Amino acid sequence: MAKITFDGIEVEVPDGTTILNAARKIGGGVVPPAMCYYTPLKGSGGKCRACLVRVAAGSAKDPRPMPKLVASCITPVQDGMVVENTTSQQVLDVRKGIVEMLLINHPLDCPVCDQAGECDLQNFAFEHGVSTTRYEEERRTFEKIDIGPYVQLHMTRCILCYRCVYTADQLTDGRVHGVLGRGDASEIGTYIDKVIDNDFSGNVIDVCPVGALTDKTFRFKQRVWFTKPMNAHRECSHEKCNGHVTLWYKGKDVMRVTARKDEYGEVKEWICNECRFDKKETADWILEGPAHIDRSSVISQGHYELPVVNPQIIADLPESTIRDLQQNPPLKLGGLNG
Amino acid sequence: MGRKLLTEHVNVEGIETFEVYRKHGGYRAVEKALKTMTPDEVVDEVKKSGLRGRGGAGFPTGLKWSFLAKPEGVPRYLVCNADESEPGTFKDRYLMSKLPHLLIEGMIAGSYALGARTSYIYIRGELLYVLRILEKAIAEAYAAGFLGENILGSGYSLDLHVHPGAGAYICGEETALLESLEGKRGNPRNKPPFPAVQGLYARPTVVNNVESIASVVPILNEGGDEYAKLGVGKSTGTKLFSACGHLNKPGIYELELGVPVEEFIYSDEYCGGIWKGRELKAVVAGGSSVPILPKELILKTAAGENRLMTYESLSDGGFVTGTMLGSGGFIAMDETTCIVKNTWNFSRFYHHESCGQCSPCREGTGWMEKVLHRLEHGHGSMHDIDLVVSVAKQIEGNTICPLGEAAAWPVAAAVRHFRDEFEWHVKHPHEATQPGAVYRGAGVLA
């Protein structure tokens, strides 16, 4: 086990845990944002640089600070490590810069984007960005390509997080899409006439942090904040799919089906295309009840929750830390109240 | 002229062949290592020599070798980074094309020291003619029994492969190189784990520059202590410098580290001064990624001491008044050089070569290039000068690999030392965009 101090809060985690996951154990407003890291996807992370943090002390053995900011999603903790996230002005300034970079070529077409309301980049920009841009040059655009019957690709919105590539690589056989080109000319694409038509291709929609990959069967049908998410399941014949989903209702109609996600927007269990695209009647499903939306998103309008420290770890915290938290709760650290 | 350890026989007719190379003392280092030394003794010898990485970072080679993880029953690899692509740097291709057996000998000795049974030379794709030379030399070494099974009856076996890249600068970054060598897209990996623990095919791997590996040969022949006597302080031995730009005698020079920069530029023994009798304006001392310095700061440190061709002296003053020795790509610019245009040109290169994996570099390199393009072409504003520095700052230190810094440092340094020239481009766009127009501090040189 390794004991680390994250934004002044002590937490003990198993060896090998990343700084980000240690912060997630604490929860609340201290958790760094992540645009490319995705827990179920092996090898993801380190690309977007949104989760950079300052390591003020490397470990108990070697308490020197790390010379550069490190990506918390891929850096393992060391016993005695001291990490600064929202308590470091340097980190907050760099994060502003990262938002600015990501928004250079990401069009602000939120009013017509299906991802609006559940877009990680919207949340990231809202929490860490600035309201103006200094970019005056021409924006990058791409030729539109058709990548299959279910998934719509908007390459201009892509922030090249590689999540969809890892998903296709690790979840399906015979990946046919990937990153083509180099630098800011990189694009997600398929080889000429290939389409994404395997049984689990729809999961790339769920993992996309922005609106680059959207559901063709849901396009322009409804804004997500007008829908009501309900957890449901069915006996799925596909061996890899357990049929646990979230149904998004508008009135009595199922507008779309997605995999269930955790509080960080990460899919808990992958679902097959049959469950996602072909079963859009309530009769197909056994309803379990309303899905819990606990992210700082417009979807949760009317039932906002303040970010707080995970109750599970409070019992293990030193008294001094609990005292500090009572005086300066983490909900004051960045995030909604920053 | 100082001692030449690497290029002593470079002009000998036929030195690229095994027979002639052997006649001139070739493969003595391999014989010595395999017959009289243990692998650890070879590593110690390299440590004693004080050899520092010749690819740019300057990390002690022996120390790097000693970091290599050695789990039982797991293969280890030595990979030679011959993906020389930094603008202004052309020493490795020279070494490989003229002295292929020197590199092969270094590879055998290094592989023996590290316990590698298979090693690779990853060569820049555009250097097809060098690839052919290396392939021929490797075949000769196999035929002579210096590669393959049971080399010289020592019980040590080694297979050496040469692998061409596809012409991406990013594949010179060690982890991107390994990805490319594995047949994947040449994207840098996140570190940790470092290659010494998980490198090629997730096995312990050392990646060394061509010149670093070639330098192992004279170190073993002369002894690490003797090698360390050459040079100054922690900059030991000799180093190849590729001099280019506005010099009377551009070319490749092997220098004992410690030669004054002024002597290197102006002495007839080396570059022979600035061409056409012009004045020196600026120098990029270690390949295009290191900070540019104006004449007064490249010849002398801020403290007024003579600047020497060593790691320490060139970096004296940090990035405020210093630079880096880097890869030894020495680019001299005379008084007619437009620094803004030159900076834009460098920036264009890094924009083109960014792999696009991480956001600051992918978006920032292009942004810098576009702003610099505007400044150079008379459409910039004062705000743009600060903007480009700010973008450079946003990239620096926040990327997966050092390409971010490589793109940011030249821009930040150019504005730091030549800000008045950038401002002149803004204030006098018409004059600045005239063909041949150059800022002279007081006006235009027609």
Tell me, what's the pLDDT at A307? 57
- The reported pLDDT for the residue numbered A234 is 95
Kindly tell me if the per-residue pLDDT of A316 is higher than 90: no
Instruction: Give DSSP secondary structure letters for B155-220.
Output: S--BEEEEEE--S-GGGGSHHHHHHHHTTS--PPPPSSSPTTTS-GGGS-EEEEEHHHHHHHHHHH
Query: pLDDT-derived band of residue B445, with 50, 70 and 90 as boundaries?
Result: very low
Angle in degrees, CA B98, B103, B104, rounded to 5: 115
Label residue B111 by pLDDT band (50, 70, 90): very high
Please enumerate residues of B whose Cβ is less than 8 A from a Cβ of A: 168, 170, 185, 190, 192, 351-360, 362-367, 370-371, 387, 390, 394, 397-400
- N-term to C-term CA, chain A: 32
The answer on pLDDT for B153 being more than 90 is: yes
pLDDT at A298: 66
Interchain CB contacts (distance < 8 Å): A and B: 89
* Residue A333: predicted pLDDT: 39
Region of poorest pLDDT, from A20-34, A199-213, A320-334, B262-276: A320-334
- CB distance from A81 to chain B under 8 Å? no
Cβ-based neighbour number of residue A121 at 10 Å: 25
In the chain, the amino acid numbered A275 is C
Instruction: At A132, list the tokens.
Output: 């103006």
- pLDDT > 70 in chain A, percent: 88
Q: Look at residue A308 and tell me whether its pLDDT is greater than 80.
A: no
Residue in the block written with tokens 């083509």: A180
- Strand (E) or helix (H) holding B389: helix B382-395
Among A143-157, A295-309, A313-327, B239-253, the minimum mean pLDDT is found in: A295-309
Q: What digits encode the pLDDT tens for the residues B42-58?
A: 999 999 999 999 998 89
What is the average per-residue pLDDT within B162-172? 94
What's the whole-number mean pLDDT along residues B399-408?
A: 95
Q: Confirm if B425 and B380 have CB atoms less than 8 A apart.
A: yes
Q: How near does any CA of chain B get to the CA of A97, in Å?
A: 6
Specify the pLDDT at position A132.
87
Residue B402 — very low, low, confident or very high, per pLDDT cuts 50/70/90?
A: very high
Coil/strand/helix, residue A274: helix
Name chain B contacts of A50, Cβ cutoff 8 Å.
Answer: 359
Residue that has been written with the tokens 């004296």 in this structure:
B316
- Contacts of residue B23, Cβ cutoff 8 Å, sequence gap at least 6: none
Q: How confident is residue B135, by pLDDT bands cut at 50, 70 and 90?
A: very high
pTM as predicted: 0.90
Helix (H, G, I), strand (E, B) or coil at A198: coil
pLDDT digits (tens, 9 = 90+) for B24-82: 999 999 999 999 999 999 999 999 999 999 998 899 999 999 999 989 899 999 999 99
Among residues of chain B, what percentage have pLDDT more than 70? 99
Q: What pLDDT score does B349 carry? A: 97
Kindly report the nearest CA distance between residue B380 and chain A, in angstroms.
11
Q: Do A182 and B357 touch (CB under 8 A)?
A: no
Report the C-alpha gap between B72 and B75 in whole angstroms.
9
Tell me whether strands A213-215 and A151-153 are parallel, antiparallel or unpaired: antiparallel
Contact across the interface for A52 and B353, Cβ inside 8 Å? no
Q: Which residues contact A320 (CB under 8 A, 6 or more apart)?
A: none
A52 touches chain B (CB under 8 A): yes
Residue whose entry in the numeric block shows the structure tokens 């459409």: B379
Mean pLDDT (whole number) for A122-130: 90
What is the residue-averaged pLDDT of chain B?
A: 94
